[in-house]
Amino acid sequence: MRDIKFRLWNLKNKYMFSNDNEELLLNIDGSSLWGHKIHYYDGTDLLEIDDFEIMQYTGLKDMNDVEIFEGDIVKRTYLFDGSFGKTHIGEVVYDKEYARYVISKPQKYTEPKTEDLGNTLSSRSTYEVIGNIHNNPELLED
């Protein structure tokens, strides 16, 4: 069974923090957050969920044993003939239609637009988390 972990991007204060188990609680209907870490940064005990972007842990780790979350920017390096050494960069997103995490490619890549993250983490490629969409959006630019 995989760990259920989240990290949160505060849309107002432009700050990312992670779930340290006891410090952040998301209520059952997903409408509010509570925790002393949030209290410390925002001065309130209860905040509306709309103030945050919630990103879930995929259950996967990159080549450096870094946990991969939604919103991470990853670099894929191919390790097989024909494409050996080539790289591309994309964002980890959740595909609701197929209930899976995928790497969404920047516009410069034509087909396919996404790759299944679970299927592509193999000995044929390496993945490295190089940033996230909030702190490093420039990594997705052409």
The pLDDT-based confidence of 5 (bands split at 50, 70, 90) is confident
pLDDT of residue 79: 77
**Which has the closest alpha carbon to 69: 5, 119, 14, 1?**
5
Q: What is the mean pLDDT of residues 79-95?
A: 81
Q: How many helices (H) and strands (E) does the chain have?
A: 2, 12
Whether 20 contacts 35, CB under 8 Å: no
Q: How confident is the model over 22-70, as pLDDT tens digits?
A: 555 555 555 556 554 554 455 554 566 677 888 989 988 999 999 999 9
Q: How confident is the model over 94-140, as pLDDT tens digits?
A: 988 888 888 887 555 555 566 666 655 555 678 899 999 999 999 98
What is the distance between the alpha carbons of residues 82 and 70, in angstroms, rounded to a whole number? 30
User: pTM of the predicted model, to two decimals?
Assistant: 0.76
Beta strands in 1-142 (DSSP E): 6-10, 15-18, 25-26, 32-34, 46-48, 52-61, 67-69, 72-78, 87-95, 100-104, 114-116, 125-132
What is the distance between the alpha carbons of residues 138 and 11, in angstroms, rounded to a whole number? 18
Domains of the chain: which residue ranges? Answer: 6-54, 62-140
If you ran DSSP here, which 8-state letter would residue 120 be given? H
pLDDT of residue 44: 52
pLDDT of residue 39: 46
